[in-house]
Structure 1
Amino acid sequence: MTDRQVTVSGPARPATPARPESYDAATRAALEHIDGQAVRAVADGRPERTRTSYAQDWASWSKFCAETGVPLLALTSGTLVMFVEWLWTQPGAKPGTRTAPSTIDRRLSGTVVTARAEHSVKPEDGVARLAGNRLKQLVKEMEANGETRGRGQAPPLLVDHLIRISAACPGNLMGLRDRALILMHFAVAGREHELAANRVRDFTDTPAGIQADLRVSKVRPRVVSVPYGSRPSICPVRAWTAWKEAASLDDPDGYAWRRLHSRWHTVMEGGLQPESIGDVITRVGERAGIEIRFTGHSPRRGIATSSRLKGHDQIVIAKQGGWAPHSKVLAGYLDVVDQWEDNALLGVL
């Protein structure tokens, strides 16, 4: 009997996948097209206000390039520093003023984002860091010279203000809407665009209060628990219910914060725009005879301040308003309270 060699066949070994550096021109072109479509899809999904801001930022960069001869797509550390210095000399929103530092900071970030998203430019990581440092230097020089730019931080709208504002709201549809809007704005630490996007279904009744779904946010969508207030006159839950019933907001997909007819004051189908919500906040303060000029950001800053005064931790406050847990902006608001509550001189003098 003769020995025979037996070969046992097993499953085929998978082929080694091609490395990205070995892709042919057609494959690279197809992948770049897919990447471009993905970037555009995300850009198109941004809130309209964000898209408008980015368009303004890019228009500013385009003007800078036209005046200085910098190529439009040449985003480098050096050209962005030049951009900051150029913006620093530009006129501000009001006659006789110069561009505010916060506007320059936004122009800088908006330009980099637009270059990536819409022009397929791939600047190096941290390309705007040097320009940001230059802006900080200019701000320090400005402060040392006693110069001011911009409107500064929004004044906080506090509980005492809410009591006066609520009392000054009339009992008609406008008064009911304005009271409910400002109380809910305060309670959820909302941004103007978040409230403008609210639909009736975003406010869910529960035995303890309302679950407010701030699902449209350019920063952090969130669900906020709004309990019944201890004082009925400034309770956001009761105020929302009163407005909802008076305005017959029966369509769950309808806007929560409706426009009112300029002449007949009847409820219209359209919702308030973000700018209009800010106008309401300013108007209710004036109606109550409060000398502080509140803006659309005042309720958001106000709840942070008021909550801190009651001893709440930064993490709890951040969760309510959708701030990052260790947000520098939020920490700045809280420092205004902490400088008195945690002062080294307490008990010393």
Structure 2
Amino acid sequence: MSALGAGTAADIDEPATAAVPAPAAADERQVLVERWAERHGIDAARRLAEAEDLADAVAAEITPDNTLDTYTKSWRVWERFCAATGLPASEGSRGSLVAFVTWMLREGQHNGRGYAPSSAGTHLAAAVVGLRERGATVSGDDQGEAREALEGLAVKLLKAGERRGRGQAVGADIDGLYAIARSCPDTLAGARDKALVLTGFHVMELVNAGHPAPLLIRDGRVVRQLESATTLPVGFGGEMPRIREHTLQQGDRVLCYTDGIVEERVNGGEQFGEERLIRCVNRLGEEPSQGLRADLRLLSRTLKWERSGRTSDDATLFMIEWHGGAADHLAVLD
């Protein structure tokens, strides 16, 4: 890939340093106090300034140490970027922020390798905080454009087969599944959660309470929607949801999603729609699978890219993959 270099399995942490003082913030506070004095008088301005001091103290008290440490480390990343490119560290323009995320993905780490997109996103957000604390003006639009650039480049990385980050979480074992299932309450919601945990059979029981029909994906393509009798969302009344059985083949995937995925308005005001979602799934299915987690992550980023980064409602994806084999031992619970 021309724009981005090779990835790495784990990001290297920035060395921790002391926080950099921000005299610009004090100057801004003084200007604000003078403005209050002109509008409301000296006594009111003093009381407002004391309230601001209290707000700052509360914010400092409730901000976790690891968050402050992240801000410090991310500012060091920003300074290294500015030193490498010759850009001033005190300015956060649209071009410099987009260049920042590109640099981080390409070569931002100390060893010359690129950061994982998730780490680059954290450094971008924290660097913007640092810029604003130091008196720089960073518009939301400029930050948003840098974020969109990051998402688009992350999709390209996944399509190129690069997998960056600290690796996958350890899979749950049988004892863990039993423990989770036993903890589910004896309610409709508990039955739903238990079914999700114990999905592993060739016949899948589906209960739908207000969500779009899931998509059955076979050999990388959507073959049909898994229709079932639906009712109002749980907690809003309506009829008791009815169970519908669907047969799965080995390797089948079931994509569940909330309506925020397909009802998001795109350019022109029309809804994103199920047809666009299916096209995205099928297009990505033409490429070799990188595993369930990586494929779902790629789909999530692709959908966000297709919708120009818009997410105004709950937009959740949940994918199930059936590997085959007997799982009768999971069906008997004490």
Q: Could you say which structure has the larger radius of gyration?
A: 1
Would you call these one fold, judging by a TM-score over 0.5?
A: no
Which category of TM-score, normalised to the shorter sequence, fits these structures? 0.3 to 0.5
Larger RCO, structure (CA 8 Å, separation 6 or more): 2
- State TM-score, norm by structure 1: 0.39
